[in-house]
């Protein structure tokens, strides 16, 4: 799947395909939201 339309980002010795970077950022965003948002129904229980 190495076509000429792939966008490859490089920064020093680090290189990543744009599609993979988008997936990684989305996974990190979901992880952070899971840490920040409270569990449903946990406000009234003790």
Q: DSSP code of 37? A: S
CA 20-4-13 angle, to 5 degrees, is 50
Q: What percent of the chain has pLDDT over 90?
A: 54
Q: Can you give the pTM of this predicted structure?
A: 0.67
pLDDT band at 45 (very low <50, low <70, confident <90, very high): low
CB 11 within 8 A of CB 21: no
């Amino acid at each position: 799947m190495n076509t000429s339309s792939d966008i490859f980002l490089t920064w020093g010795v680090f290189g990543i395909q744009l599609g993979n970077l988008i997936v990684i950022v989305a996974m990190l965003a979901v992880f952070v939201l899971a840490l920040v948002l409270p569990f449903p129904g946990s406000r009234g229980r003790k």
